[in-house]
Structure 1
Amino acid sequence: MAVTVANASGRPSFRQEAVDFIRFIVRPSVGPRLPGRSVGHGEWLDWFPGVPVGRLVQWACALWAVNLVFLGPIALAAAGAGGAEHRLNLGNIPWLQALFWAPVVEELVFRYGLRRPLRALWLVPLAAYALLSGPEAHAIALVCVVVLLCWWQASTRSLLSQKPMTWRLQRAYLSGFPLLVHSSCLLFAAVHLNNFSLNQTPWWLMPLLVLPQWLTGLALAWLRVRQGIGASMLLHGIFNGGPLLVVWLVLQWIPLPPG
């Protein structure tokens, strides 16, 4: 298991984190956490790990660059070849859904259980129901209850807190962890096919449409495991917000034609 060495400030450099990320892609592992996290109760720090926002912006910029230069053109070519169209309504940019709803709900569904597998048995089905329901009032209320329950358990160490797994279960979980990580990233990408009107797109082109989401899912999975669920939610929101901000700025200069 590779250990990332921290710099003089106690936190790994971006280059060191990038190397650890590549190692994680090749062989996902549950640990170790990255150096430089705040000291305190582990469950509470899972939500508030103290990761600098500037570092998360660096990761978002790296993902935007890879998607813009490599994966984005492949996705656009696949969409053009298959006739798929993005569902984004430029006249009504979904800011709240992109910046808050999707980062919280999707991280709960696809990545929370990577370090809390037993608690995920009750949390993930509830979050998945909210994800399928969309940002309706009852789904928003359900997600708020789920998050508050997690915070309550972290602050009180209640009886609902995750119990230690047996040795045999731990061994099985660690053995299957790489498959779990990569399966969750593929499923995360597949869900984003819903962003497209697929029309007559052949099935073998569909994976190419969501290559950017696949890479982003890998980065979010790495960050969730190495830093915490709060960090992955925040990076998710930053990543979603950047392209939407660019679209909004462009529309301020070149308004959509009427009708």
Structure 2
Amino acid sequence: MNKKKVILISGSIFVILSVFLLLIPIAHQLSTNKKIDAIEQQFQDFSKEETREGKLKRLKSLTDEYQTYQKDKGTNGKLAETYSNTLSEMKHYFTDNNQIVLKDNTINELQKENNLETLQTKKSNLETLLSTITQEKEILSNDSTIEETITKIHETIEKMNSRIQTITEEQEKRAKVHYENEYFTIDFPEKWIDKWNVRKNENTEGNVTYFVSYAGDNPSFPMGAGIIDIHVFPNATSYSAKKYPDLKLFGITSKNEKVYLGTGTSGTVIGEKGGKLTLK
């Protein structure tokens, strides 16, 4: 009788142990599935974040969580794989966005770009991107494209700085031989730097006279010097051949203002060898 009891008890213990051993992997799997669901939910929350800062916080939170898991459980298994894949997808948002911003602010034919404002705007955008990447670098440090992107941005900014400097120097140089008002522009030869002058005189009749002068190549021997008067007659005024018999019509501006040239003095101030007069 006692033997039967022992056998019965032993059998019961065996059954209990068997059931317990069977339940352990099931419980572990259920726990793993629950954690996987939690990770996937974190990715959904990450995707819904509207700001880069918000996404970065969620990436950092999951990164810290994974690092803690690695210390306790290692890097093998379904859960570790889920962590790794999810973090990789999150990081792709940042690296892909970086490439988009870099592409949008890179000028393929840089030497043909003459708009200083465009260059400065794109350069500023790249500097902002560089600052952002530098701040995020610690979290995204294991992404191989980060350093490549940083290097590319530095190179692009350096090329833009060179182009900006070239354009600035050209503008400064041009300003020394360029005159402009609401009616016309005059571009003088480079050798005329500091040797030309334009003086405005508003007449009582409403028309405007500009006296354009050139000091000549040798101030002490002013044979090449000259002066010419440019007369502008706005719409509200009229030209009188009787009053201005020596004027010659040069052209009409886009606003229908008539521009005349006087006879001038010695030297060619406006013309093939002098300043280029262009009406607006």
Do the structures match in fold with TM over 0.5? no
More strand per residue: 2
Greater length-normalized contact order (CA 8 Å, ≥ 6 residues apart): 1
Alignment TM class, shorter chain as reference? under 0.3
Provide the TM-score with structure 1 as the length reference: 0.21
Provide the TM-score with structure 2 as the length reference: 0.20
More helix per residue: 1
